[in-house]
Structure 1
């Protein structure tokens, strides 16, 4: 099915009753919903609850009569009598959100859907919405950082030039304005919003602009309010360094199992010495895999659920053996295309268009050297800064402010992706109450028993404070 055929099939009248007539401000049109499994290639055919449609929005919200683009929207109707709508965004930035209602409906937060329609959407430039068709960059291994940054800049510029107007429009503020167009098209005066990771910045931006249209907002794993790639790299490096300390402490408490040291300091020294040894003298595993200092680095600041496996692997390395980091796979599906086909470029655009992150490699290299000096284990991990080198558009800062609608922030005390201090930085700008989850898992609220707090929040508008137990450390 071609993209044009797909959009036409969603907009032409079919034997599906539309949800509701949109108000005049949305053009007086009706939405036509069809089962996502019928219009989306590779959609889970067992999912007969999810319905899909498209909403046309202005490319430039300052020129509402100009070019329009399509936003893909999904919905699962409330189990009981619907008392409102909750819209979800999984973050990224650049991650599609059309499957998030189905994910929530299968999670511990499924109770939100008892009294609310669950709505997801793919932001502009992402997934099934209108995108800049940009293949992922092919990166040669072993390139020096400066050369890699130069090639990334060339790749990004080539993609940007495929549709400069759309690429330049990929900002958090524009996505927030798109979201309000979706609200209008749904025919509702107010929405609830549940955002994770970058979705928290999107939510905060929407609430700043359209507070009167918010029933309640829950933001889980809160992004730095500056949205600067420098701040992201710094924060994640600091959190990764602390994760390494906690990992070493955990291994030391199990010295009889792993034999890597009986104190936190002893384990830390042993692992860093092992990294230095393998940097100088790499080993080759029977399958040809090279095991070097990078292999060790990639095992030192990982989620707690991986600690037992990683500690065992590090023990093998410390005893002179070989092991490798297991490679993960990130699968996806789309309507008539791969829904993740352009997400890397969309993520770069949404970050670089929205923050004054460095555009020159000299600044990036200086910041990285300073970061490695401060955080010798994790300082070299993050690489967001490099992605804005040579970016052709000036930054458009996101404005965050306070509102009157209920706001629940959820921070994860040990998380390295969106470190816990960012939650309180955002709270200082926008207000709200903070629920602290005692885990290191990114956006994990919906998978925990205390997901019931999210159900209560959207049902009553009452925020919570205090703590929530995460998954136990193995």
Structure 2
């Protein structure tokens, strides 16, 4: 994730990081923020960032926003060496007389831009009043957006499209070899900078922001990968944290295989919930009247499309079992659309694709060129570096292929949704593991009972290491707390008072078969935490 997701969209990482140096050495002298005029945006950029009905509010908040930069060491082991800049924003509290402090925000990633998050949160979220007593602080992590960043060179070669049907070992090896070559070229393109794109370094930058704001303690709200950043910050600077709320908690002991396997298992579990929902509506979808029968029907449909990919005259590529697996992997708000897609795939006779299938997978045409002044939403180089600098796995092909095949066997409905990837194999820079530590500052770990990108069990695993209180959201939608009024109200109350109950209902499961406004199916797979 970078930025806010719609609650109807589908949509993290952990690590063992040994400190590069003691936190006291990293914090040296107080930081200074250089405040400057904020960027201005064209009408085209504004329309790309926000729905039309939100534009007036968005513009009002932009007018209140303050923008600046703070200089930080590229390498905190050499604090007097090369400096880079981290860009930040501040939206001051409305009630300065009763101000509670600064609240830093991170939307996820790694590589997501949080620069405009104060404005986005108040425009498109439900956390009404969060800015009454807090200054809201946005920032672009190093490697992203308005902060110092680099982009790796484009891939040297393309392994080519995979043929329809099950992935063969030969095709997987071509993909693996191409990605290993790409990882190696990326890591060697600017090793001094790329090796310092770590969560621990971003956490140290965040403490420089705290220092520049002249805050004794910093409050923090993180989503998805932002929960990992928050946990690392609290581990490294335990006495500098006020209140912290982490929504959709990341895996606390990271390897990329454990990350992928956890998400794959969670997707299969949630697909069983979808199967039960479809069974209750057998008169509409016709897959069976029990969850077991629906599950068997979905597996049979995926198997049939893998064995006999379908070609339709009005969609660009043949369709195989991958589309069935993606459909079965959707969050609850998208179940009516996904169930209809699977029913149309089952009943399709051709030569044209069924209408909903065509709508979901049809050729969208060339993407529109984004406005030149549209701020970067996410940085893929930062995403790759933050993952790979902290991933100790870096599997060879045979181990990677075996793991992929096992995921398919363990998750017959949804396993194909998680594509084969070389992961961090070939990344030439040394592993920099992080180890979380317990703390005593106020912490809420918000876990979603049924979600896929951050499986609920990671919340309890994190609590066992760092402490804090678990807040359970009874939905399957990644990072939804800010989008649901009751849940967002609990979050605001927590930051105002330090008190919170045990959870909220989250995004409701559809009661009928009305399809959502979103007309696409989202994939959760390797390459992004959120």
Compared with structure 1, are the counterparts of its residues 333 and 62 closer, same or farther at alpha carbon in structure 2 (3 Å cutoff)? Answer: farther
Aligned to 1:251: 278
Whether 1:95 and 2:122 are equivalent positions in the alignment is no
**Could you tell me which of 57, 60, 72 is aligned with 1:57?**
72
Residues 108 and 226 in structure 2, CA contact (< 8 A), matched pair in contact too: yes
1:226-237 pair list within 5 angstroms: 226-237=253-264
Deviations 1:202-253 (A, max 9, x none): 1011111111111111110000011221111111111111111111111111
Deviations 1:253-289 (A, max 9, x none): 1011111111111111112111122222222223134
Deviation at 1:145, TM superposition (A): 2.0
CA distance in 2 between counterparts of 1:213 and 1:267 reads 51
Deviation at 1:357, TM superposition (A): 2.2
Aligned to 2:30: 26
**Could you tell me which of 68, 74, 85 is aligned with 1:70?**
85
Deviation at 1:334, TM superposition (A): 8.8
Whether 1:127 and 2:138 are equivalent positions in the alignment is no
Aligned to 2:306: 279
**Could you tell me which of 489, 501, 523 is aligned with 1:452?**
489
CA distance in 2 between counterparts of 1:39 and 1:325 reads 31
Whether 1:326 and 2:326 are equivalent positions in the alignment is no
CA distance in 1 between counterparts of 2:466 and 2:490 reads 21
User: 378-387 or 414-423, which moves further after superposition?
Assistant: 378-387
1:309 is paired with a residue whose SS is: helix
Higher relative contact order (CA 8 A, sep 6+): 2
CA distance in 2 between counterparts of 1:440 and 1:305 reads 9
Deviation at 1:340, TM superposition (A): 4.4
2:322 is paired with a residue whose SS is: helix
CA distance in 1 between counterparts of 2:191 and 2:279 reads 54
2:120 is paired with a residue whose SS is: helix
Whether 1:266 and 2:281 are equivalent positions in the alignment is no
Residues 226 and 355 in structure 1, CA contact (< 8 A), matched pair in contact too: no
Compared with structure 1, are the counterparts of its residues 376 and 239 closer, same or farther at alpha carbon in structure 2 (3 Å cutoff)? Answer: same
Normalising by structure 1, we get a TM-score of 0.88
Deviation at 1:93, TM superposition (A): 1.1
Deviation at 1:115, TM superposition (A): 0.4
CA distance in 2 between counterparts of 1:191 and 1:330 reads 40
Deviation at 1:65, TM superposition (A): 0.5
User: 381-390 or 179-188, which moves further after superposition?
Assistant: 381-390
1:284 is paired with a residue whose SS is: coil
CA distance in 1 between counterparts of 2:368 and 2:482 reads 21
Aligned to 1:8: none
Whether 1:42 and 2:70 are equivalent positions in the alignment is no
Aligned to 1:142: 162
**Could you tell me which of 277, 297, 313 is aligned with 2:341?**
313
Whether 1:296 and 2:324 are equivalent positions in the alignment is yes
Whether 1:467 and 2:503 are equivalent positions in the alignment is yes
2:490 is paired with a residue whose SS is: helix
Deviation at 1:35, TM superposition (A): 2.8
Residues 348 and 387 in structure 1, CA contact (< 8 A), matched pair in contact too: no
CA distance in 2 between counterparts of 1:248 and 1:227 reads 31
User: 250-259 or 142-151, which moves further after superposition?
Assistant: 142-151
Whether 1:109 and 2:127 are equivalent positions in the alignment is yes
Deviation at 1:320, TM superposition (A): 2.4
Deviations 1:90-139 (A, max 9, x none): 11111111121112112211322110011111111122211122266566
User: 314-323 or 50-59, which moves further after superposition?
Assistant: 314-323
1:446 is paired with a residue whose SS is: helix
1:224 is paired with a residue whose SS is: coil
Residues 90 and 96 in structure 1, CA contact (< 8 A), matched pair in contact too: yes
Quote the RMSD (CA, aligned, Å): 2.6
Deviations 1:135-187 (A, max 9, x none): 66566321722221221222222222221111111111111111101111122
Deviation at 1:38, TM superposition (A): 6.4
User: 363-372 or 34-43, which moves further after superposition?
Assistant: 34-43
Aligned to 1:375: 411
Deviations 1:328-367 (A, max 9, x none): 99999798576147x2221121111112122422221122
2:34 is paired with a residue whose SS is: coil
CA distance in 1 between counterparts of 2:307 and 2:359 reads 19
Deviations 1:364-399 (A, max 9, x none): 112222222222223343358622011112211112
CA distance in 2 between counterparts of 1:375 and 1:30 reads 50
Counting matched residue pairs gives 449
- Unaligned stretches of 5+ in structure 2? 1-26, 50-57, 164-170, 511-530
Compared with structure 1, are the counterparts of its residues 230 and 324 closer, same or farther at alpha carbon in structure 2 (3 Å cutoff)? Answer: farther
1:316 is paired with a residue whose SS is: helix
Whether 1:406 and 2:424 are equivalent positions in the alignment is no
Residues 262 and 455 in structure 2, CA contact (< 8 A), matched pair in contact too: yes
User: 141-150 or 329-338, which moves further after superposition?
Assistant: 329-338
CA distance in 1 between counterparts of 2:264 and 2:179 reads 22
Compared with structure 1, are the counterparts of its residues 403 and 354 closer, same or farther at alpha carbon in structure 2 (3 Å cutoff)? Answer: same
Aligned to 2:204: 177
Deviations 1:390-436 (A, max 9, x none): 11122111121111210011000010000000000000000000110
